[in-house]
């Protein structure tokens, strides 16, 4: 490709709103162009990188028995209603009202399409196992697109789906997909960490994320400094410290004037925050329901811990939560800032009347707590469960944080790190086959629900993460596996002889099978060198009067500051050895 004929130009300055280095460099180097918030055009250079990433993914998927296909982006509402996710996905799904009563969703993911296909194509155990995948567009109405390619409203994803007759079959296959993902990231030059993760809106029994540690990442994960255990904050396990008291003291109401926070109360009473209980209030709207059909949720957690809302949503069975208003709190009989379930009618279960009280497991690791008295300016001391109050449900609600003891080895200390999620593997189980009655006959002729797995990597996000991992102050440094071209060739200076030599090198390299970007523009050497560094192709070959006087062409790797002069007659062999 001649750079003089390329579509689009490099930019000296990045857009003012481009905060992440990948966002800045991909725009400046003419790999992408923004159309709107979270919507990008991939320019010819960017599309070549995407194509290389796609090829690597296809090779790794094919190696474990995957079959590539292409599924539609326009989904009839009925297939999503069958799995219960038409309402569950809420406003994040783009919806289209067509003629008459026809309604469609623009694909945020493809589990529903795969279930529909499985119902049509799979009859018995003889038709499984299967692994299918495609590389396709996804659409999600993200409230806050950010980071250029990191969070988009329209994005490109490789998603794969496994179909097995048994859970054991899914469990046996799953590690091969995890390894394929590690291979993909390794070949693209991204050092990821595999972490245990929450299943979220995808459902299923377990999942793993692959994250790239990054200070500007929008995700967090927890890592043990001893055993290497890693999990995202929604799934991280830690050791609850504390013991039940040998003797329960009497419940006593005491004045706590001007105590607005847990720390204020603890200091006033003369105890640690771990001997307090705090109340956190939410309004839960179940999936598929309107907010008015939701219910008030009273959460109890030890005063030294914080509620993780994803864990809370999981404990409540899904839906959405928001902070409850003071009016909603008082309507339940509690007093904001001084609340407890002591004296309240607590619901025995989710269907019973009364206040729904969900307590974190930390309640069991202490006692004689300081707790609100539902009277402004007053707290109880000596509060103990279950003597003094009831709860509807106990669950793991606390968010793991730096300094906690690892729940895996029970020895190391947890450290919280920021990261960018690069990929996700889910054991979906029968989450989608059960509501749609997607079955296959087993060897005994009995219908069995099909077990599914779902596995996704965003190509555009991965491209950005590669740039985050491989760049310097001058521009991108592409790994050779996904670089848009193998060689960046240029002639430096003016003159027919230089152009002829460069043209001959261009033709020779192409004939040998190399992908070459030839900068044939009539611009200064400084501009050419700056653009070469900015674009980031692995090997630069330049021909100028000085290099010829010194014996040949100048060759430089983008990742190195060293330059060498290579005789023209040996240049092809040198390029071969440098790119192998």
Residue 407 within a domain: no
pLDDT at position 288 is 67
**Pairwise pLDDT comparison (88 vs 331), residue with the higher score:** 331
Torsion angles phi and psi, residue 465, rounded to 5: -65, -35
On the question of pLDDT at 202 being above 60, the answer is no
23-72 pLDDT tens trace: 999 999 999 999 999 999 999 999 999 999 999 999 999 999 999 999 99
On the question of pLDDT at 284 being above 60, the answer is yes
Torsion angles phi and psi, residue 67, rounded to 5: -120, 120
Give the residue-averaged pLDDT of 479-502: 94
Residue 497 within a domain: yes
Residue that terminates a domain, selected from 433, 467, 501: 467
Residue 226 within a domain: no
pLDDT above 70 as % of the chain: 98
Residues 371 and 442 in one domain: no
Residues 317 and 444 in one domain: no
Contact in structure between 492 and 528 (CB atoms under 8 Å) = yes
Residues 318 and 432 in one domain: no
pLDDT at position 186 is 97
Residues 341 and 459 in one domain: no
Domain count along the chain: 3
Q: Which residue from 460, 419, 459 is spatially nearest to 212, judged by alpha carbons?
A: 419
Give the residue-averaged pLDDT of 403-418: 93
- When pLDDT is cut at 50, 70 and 90, the band that residue 378 belongs to is very high
CATH at residue 549:
3.40.50.800
Residues 333 and 197 in one domain: no
Residues 513 and 442 in one domain: no
Distances (CA, A) of 306 to 12, 337, 373, 396, 560: 46, 16, 21, 11, 47
DSSP H or E run through 224: strand 219-224
Residues 433 and 377 in one domain: no
232-246 pLDDT tens trace: 888 888 998 888 899
Distances (CA, A) of 270 to 263, 338, 367, 375: 10, 17, 15, 20
Residues 499 and 530 in one domain: yes
Give the residue-averaged pLDDT of 223-235: 88
- C-alpha 457/C-alpha 462 separation (Å) is 8
pLDDT above 90 as % of the chain: 84
291-315 pLDDT tens trace: 888 999 999 999 999 999 989 988 9
- When pLDDT is cut at 50, 70 and 90, the band that residue 218 belongs to is confident
- Bond preceding residue 129 cis, omega within 30 of 0: yes
Residue 436 within a domain: yes
CATH at residue 307:
3.90.960.10
Give the residue-averaged pLDDT of 518-529: 95
Residues 426 and 353 in one domain: no
Residues 327 and 426 in one domain: no
| Rg of the chain taking only CA atoms, in angstroms | 30
């Amino acid at each position: 490709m001649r750079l003089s004929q390329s579509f689009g130009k490099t930019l000296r300055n990045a857009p003012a709103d481009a905060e992440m280095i990948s966002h800045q460099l991909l725009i400046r180097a003419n790999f992408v162009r923004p159309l709107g918030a979270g919507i990008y055009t991939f320019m010819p250079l960017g599309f070549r990188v995407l194509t290389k990433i796609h090829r690597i993914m296809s090779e790794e998927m094919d190696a474990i028995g995957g079959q590539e296909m292409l599924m539609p982006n326009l989904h009839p509402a009925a297939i999503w209603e069958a799995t219960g996710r038409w309402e569950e996905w809420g406003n994040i799904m783009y919806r289209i009202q067509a003629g008459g009563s026809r309604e469609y969703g623009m694909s945020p993911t493809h589990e529903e399409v795969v279930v529909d296909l499985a119902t049509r194509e799979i009859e018995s155990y003889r038709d499984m196992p299967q692994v299918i995948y495609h590389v396709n567009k996804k659409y999600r109405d993200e409230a806050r697109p950010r980071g250029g390619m990191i969070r988009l409203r329209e994005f490109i994803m490789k998603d794969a789906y496994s179909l097995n007759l048994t859970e054991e079959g899914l469990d046996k296959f799953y590690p091969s997909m995890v390894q394929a993902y590690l291979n993909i990231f390794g070949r693209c030059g991204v050092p990821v960490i595999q972490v245990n993760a929450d299943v979220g809106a995808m459902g299923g029994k377990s999942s793993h994320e692959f994250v790239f540690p990054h200070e500007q990442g929008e995700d967090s994960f927890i890592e043990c400094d001893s055993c290497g255990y890693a999990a995202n904050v929604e799934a991280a396990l830690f050791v609850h410290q504390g013991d039940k008291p040998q003797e329960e003291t009497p419940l006593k109401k005491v004045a706590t004037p001007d105590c607005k926070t847990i720390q204020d109360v603890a200091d006033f009473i003369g105890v640690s925050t771990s001997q307090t209980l705090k109340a956190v209030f939410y309004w839960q709207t179940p999936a598929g329901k309107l907010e008015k059909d939701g219910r008030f949720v009273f959460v109890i957690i030890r005063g030294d811990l914080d509620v993780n809302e994803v864990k809370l949503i999981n404990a409540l069975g899904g839906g959405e939560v928001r902070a409850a208003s003071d009016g909603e709190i008082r309507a339940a009989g509690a007093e904001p800032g001084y609340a407890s379930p002591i004296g309240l009618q607590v619901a025995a279960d989710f269907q019973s009347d009364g206040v729904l009280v969900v307590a974190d497991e930390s309640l069991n690791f202490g006692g004689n707590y300081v707790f609100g008295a539902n009277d402004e300016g007053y707290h109880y001391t000596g509060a103990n469960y279950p003597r003094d109050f009831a709860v509807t449900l106990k669950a793991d609600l606390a968010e793991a944080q730096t300094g906690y003891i690892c729940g895996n080895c029970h020895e190391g200390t947890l450290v919280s790190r920021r990261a960018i999620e690069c990929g996700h593997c889910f054991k979906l189980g029968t989450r989608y086959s059960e509501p749609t009655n997607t079955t296959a006959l087993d060897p005994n002729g009995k219908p069995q629900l099909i077990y599914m797995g779902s596995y996704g990597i965003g190509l555009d996000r991965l491209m950005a993460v590669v740039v985050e991992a491989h760049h310097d102050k001058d521009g991108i440094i592409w790994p050779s596996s996904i670089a848009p071209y193998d060689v960046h060739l240029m002639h430096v200076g003016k003159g027919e002889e230089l152009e002829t030599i460069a043209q001959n090198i261009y033709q020779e390299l192409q004939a040998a099978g190399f992908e070459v970007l030839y900068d044939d523009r009539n611009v200064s050497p400084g501009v050419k060198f700056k653009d070469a560094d900015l674009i980031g192709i692995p090997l630069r070959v330049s021909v100028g009067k000085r290099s010829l006087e010194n014996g040949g062409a100048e060759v430089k790797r983008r990742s190195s500051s060293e330059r060498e002069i290579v005789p023209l007659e040996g240049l092809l062999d040198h390029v071969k050895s440098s790119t192998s």
